[in-house]
């Protein structure tokens, strides 16, 4: 019995509309490429993109679709966006900043930190430095993991975003998106740009007649780069190795080529039709954050050690003159009136404790006018229970606290101990 093939994307030429439905992943993205490439051949200047019927959007589908839509707008095309009807998908579009990107290409800074998602655009080197730090800060405040995993994440995101700035030739930079599953401790992140793509970027080192898929396979080898003065060519190779060591997946889509390395280490490779070509590059990575992992092994490619990461915990939190960590609370960009903010800072402190088990952690409260009882309990009360009285008294050093904050913190510890008894 023949199964009916699901059509995730359809291009209605007479209506000037592209309709998406159901699951929006890599297959839908391929079909969307075909629809947009067909639309551009018609030399029309207006199109409607209908997301109303989608049910399950994924990073590897949404990021290339968003990139293509922003590319159309950059060419002066008027694009009408029809938002999803499904209420849960609507929330995703808001929480993941897809709605803002689709409407005006901008990211709305959130007043509260998300514990499950991070999205931002970058155009310059300063942008890139900022979003890499924000991304790692998002991780530090969301889940307690080994410092080798944090270093691997930082290195991977830094290298992949740097590739966009140095090799894509995109005037609009790129987009970084990350989604964290706090239950399974898995993270998926993607970086997309609308630049020249991998095949054109490394064309000088390719053999004559090489396909776009050949180009991707060449690009993921260590030391392959179009210009050694710009980079050593270890970004994709090192990122792929880190993903595989963390029992993750690694996907690359550029031009007509598509490569996906699954967690079982089996690779899927496809060379799409010319009219399904993606103008740009998408790299998506999934990693298991609980997998035992060595950063030295992860960055060892072709018997050499790739550029070692600076590690944000060292650069941002470690003090220069003594073996201690330092957190200035009024620079944490959080509110002090809810449990979510308290949990964020507590998780970050637990990551610092895990990184260096004997380093004191100085928490500077200068400039913090007040905190709520719920914040005090979620941060300090639960931290006291998490690490125990001996370690808390040895490592946690609060300074410059207002008298009221001091009383609230002492009360939160007492009440938390009563609950735990």
**Are 184 and 154 members of one domain?**
yes
**Are 113 and 99 members of one domain?**
no
Host H or E run for residue 131? helix 125-140
pLDDT computed for residue 296 by the predictor: 79
Question: What CA–CA distance (Å, rounded) separates 12 from 35?
Answer: 9
Measured in whole angstroms, how far is the alpha carbon of residue 273 from the centre of its chain?
29
pLDDT computed for residue 334 by the predictor: 79
pTM of the model: 0.87
Question: What CA–CA distance (Å, rounded) separates 80 from 137?
Answer: 35
Q: Choose the final residue of a domain: 107, 141, 164.
A: 107
The per-residue pLDDT for range 111-155, each reduced to its tens digit, is 556 779 999 999 999 999 999 999 999 999 999 999 999 999 999
Question: What CA–CA distance (Å, rounded) separates 11 from 49?
Answer: 9
User: Tokens 């590690």 map to which residue?
Assistant: 311
pLDDT computed for residue 206 by the predictor: 85
pLDDT computed for residue 230 by the predictor: 42
Q: Which domain holds residue 359?
A: 318-420
pLDDT computed for residue 199 by the predictor: 93
**Are 330 and 387 members of one domain?**
yes
- CATH assignment of the domain containing 275: 3.30.565.10
Residues in the chain: 421
Q: Choose the final residue of a domain: 63, 89, 107.
A: 107
Question: What CA–CA distance (Å, rounded) separates 126 from 187?
Answer: 25
Return the axis-axis angle of helices 125-140 and 339-355, rounded to nearest 10°: 90
Question: What's the CA angle centered on 214, arms 208 and 218, to 5 degrees?
Answer: 100
**Are 207 and 271 members of one domain?**
yes
**Are 323 and 305 members of one domain?**
no
**Are 103 and 113 members of one domain?**
no
**Are 233 and 296 members of one domain?**
yes
pLDDT computed for residue 110 by the predictor: 57
Host H or E run for residue 260? strand 257-261
- CATH assignment of the domain containing 103: 3.30.750.24
**Are 266 and 174 members of one domain?**
yes
Domain total for the chain?
3
Question: What CA–CA distance (Å, rounded) separates 382 from 320?
Answer: 29
Comparing C-alpha atoms, which of 400, 336, 337, 344 is closest to residue 367?
A: 400
**Are 235 and 355 members of one domain?**
no
pLDDT computed for residue 222 by the predictor: 65
Sites in the chain below the pLDDT cut of 50 = 1-3, 226-232, 302-307
Structural contact between residues 283 and 195, judged by C-beta atoms closer than 8 angstroms: no
**Are 306 and 329 members of one domain?**
no
In sequence order, the β-bridge partners of residue 326 are 362
**Are 304 and 399 members of one domain?**
no
**Are 233 and 367 members of one domain?**
no
Question: What CA–CA distance (Å, rounded) separates 99 from 58?
Answer: 14
Q: Choose the final residue of a domain: 288, 316, 344.
A: 316
Structural contact between residues 361 and 323, judged by C-beta atoms closer than 8 angstroms: no
């Amino acid at each position: 019995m023949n199964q009916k093939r699901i059509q995730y994307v359809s291009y209605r030429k007479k209506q000037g509309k592209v309709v998406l439905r159901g699951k929006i992943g890599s297959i839908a993205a391929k079909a969307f490429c075909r629809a947009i490439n067909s639309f551009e051949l018609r030399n029309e200047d207006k199109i409607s993109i209908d997301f109303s019927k989608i049910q399950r959007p994924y990073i590897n589908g949404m990021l290339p679709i968003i990139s293509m839509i922003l590319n159309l707008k950059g060419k002066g095309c008027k694009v009408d966006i029809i938002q999803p009807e499904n209420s849960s998908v609507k929330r995703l579009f808001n929480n993941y900043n897809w709605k803002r990107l689709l409407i005006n290409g901008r990211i709305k800074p959130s007043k509260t930190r998300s514990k499950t998602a991070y999205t931002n655009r970058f155009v310059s080197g300063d942008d890139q430095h900022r979003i890499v730090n924000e991304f790692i800060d998002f991780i530090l405040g969301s889940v307690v993991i080994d410092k080798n995993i944090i270093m691997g994440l930082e290195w991977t995101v830094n290298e992949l975003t740097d590739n966009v700035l140095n090799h894509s030739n995109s005037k609009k930079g790129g987009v970084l998106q990350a989604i964290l599953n706090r239950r399974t401790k898995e993270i998926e992140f993607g970086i997309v740009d609308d630049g020249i793509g991998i095949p054109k970027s490394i064309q000088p080192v390719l053999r004559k007649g090489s396909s776009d898929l050949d180009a991707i396979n060449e690009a993921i080898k260590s030391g392959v780069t179009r210009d050694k003065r710009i980079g050593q060519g270890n970004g994709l190779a090192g990122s792929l190795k880190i993903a595989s060591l963390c029992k993750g997946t690694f996907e690359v889509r550029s031009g007509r080529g598509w490569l996906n390395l699954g967690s079982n280490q089996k690779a899927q490779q496809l060379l799409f039709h010319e009219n399904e070509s993606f103008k740009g590059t998408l790299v998506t990575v999934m990693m298991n954050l609980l997998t035992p992992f060595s950063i030295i092994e992860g960055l060892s490619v072709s018997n050499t050690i790739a550029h070692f990461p600076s590690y944000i915990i060292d650069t941002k939190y470690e003090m220069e003159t003594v073996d201690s960590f330092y957190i200035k609370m009024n620079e944490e960009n959080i509110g002090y009136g809810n449990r979510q903010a308290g949990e964020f800072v507590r998780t970050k402190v637990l990551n610092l404790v895990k990184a260096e088990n004997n380093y004191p952690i100085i928490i500077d409260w200068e400039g913090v006018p007040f905190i709520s009882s719920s914040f005090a309990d979620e941060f300090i009360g639960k931290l006291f229970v998490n690490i125990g009285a001996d370690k808390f008294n040895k490592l946690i050093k609060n300074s410059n606290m207002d008298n009221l904050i001091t009383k609230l913190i002492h009360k939160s510890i007492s009440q938390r101990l009563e609950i735990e008894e």
